[in-house]
Chain A
Amino acid sequence: MSLAGKVALVTGASRGIGQAIALELASQGATVIGTATSDSGAEAITAYLKEAGATGAGLRLNVTEEGACEGIIAAIEKDYGPVAILVNNAGITRDNLLMRMKDDEWDAIMATNLKPVYQLSKAVMRGMMKARWGRIINIASVVGATGNAGQTNYSAAKAALFGFTKSLAKEIGSRGVTVNAVAPGFIDTDMTKALPEEQKAKLVEAIALGRLGLPKDIADAVGFLASDRAAYITGNTLHVNGGMFMN
């Protein structure tokens, strides 16, 4: 229970990777706040946390709403205390060939996958600096490193997280705060269920371990980076992709 007494915030925690991360951090004893874009999603988070015997709750957060990111950090600090572990997981895809891409598809990705990472990280900084302890873990993607046709917007935003992670790690390292990224490969979630079977089969062929990843594979990596066992790791990206891409 190495994270006992610490408050963790996981964005996009209603299902998939985010849910697995929330449960992993809870299993290490953290008080977990998970966010979802809808009230029903937030209630579902509260329910699964309760079922797991964890302390914490689901909250509604639409990261693209003006002031929402700052607001939720203030609310969490008031009710639970300062956020010690921030997992920036919320993300969407708006795939299209560049030649067909619309401004709103590009903008939606930047507004949801990139800007909130800046806003939330900034908002938790004060608490982490004062505590001389903090973990910021950004969920990137293998496509940020490899590229992927049809995902110029998504891969650009995910690659941006690598640079953000390194710069912030340098900025804040002297205060005991580590900043890392986890880059999932192809994980079996609702997001990848949308892919055609044929494409999925081809993808699996390229994975050394011969299977899609599970949300738990990612959660375990995040759980490690959040723990004191990873105290000397910062500014890094942990690739969790079954060997489909080797850095």
Chain B
Amino acid sequence: MENIEQRVKKIVAEQLGVPETDVKIESSFVNDLGADSLDTVELVMALEEEFECEIPDEEAEKITTVQQAVDYVSANLSK
């Protein structure tokens, strides 16, 4: 679980160009990390690649914070 969180945080930091220390579990991509809507689309693309899964559009739109990304990945990897 912690492993997934670390991996998600690393990708978020890379994609959004922010220091990893700024990426908290409760961080909102748009409100806290300065992402625009296109950044969030790219972030989901990066998550899909890292975790080798496909995140459907309707699910992707609900992922707006680090916590939500971690939750989604955890739930769908354990399947």
Q: Which residues of A contact B (CB under 8 A)?
A: 126, 129-130, 171-172, 174-175
Contact = CB atoms under 8 A, between A and B. Distances in A.
10 contacts: A126-B45, A129-B38, A129-B41, A129-B42, A129-B45, A130-B45, A171-B38, A172-B38, A174-B38, A175-B38
Nearest to A130: B45
Contacts of B42: 129
A84 to B, nearest CB: 17
Contacts of B45: 126, 129-130
Give the dominant DSSP class at B's interface: helix
Given A130-B45, A171-B38, A172-B38, 7 more contacts: A126-B45, A129-B38, A129-B41, A129-B42, A129-B45, A174-B38, A175-B38
Contacts of B41: 129
Interface residues of B, number: 4
Contacts of A129: 38, 41-42, 45
Interface of B: 38, 41-42, 45
Q: Across the A-B interface, give the 7 residue pairs with the lowest CB-CB distance, nearest first.
A: A129-B42, A126-B45, A174-B38, A171-B38, A130-B45, A175-B38, A129-B45
Contacts of A171: 38
Instruction: Give the residue among B38, B41, B42, B45 with the most A Cβ atoms within 10 A.
Output: B38
Contacts of A130: 45
Nearest to A129: B42
Nearest to A174: B38
A130 B45 CA distance: 9
Nearest to B39: A174
A1 B42 CA distance: 30
A116 to B, nearest CB: 20
Contacts of A175: 38
A107 B45 CA distance: 34
Contacts of B38: 129, 171-172, 174-175
A223 to B, nearest CB: 28
Nearest to B49: A130
B38 to A, nearest CB: 7
Nearest to B45: A126
B56 to A, nearest CB: 14
Nearest to B48: A126
B30 to A, nearest CB: 16
A100 B42 CA distance: 47
A171 B45 CA distance: 17
A205 to B, nearest CB: 48
A161 B66 CA distance: 38
A126 B45 CA distance: 8
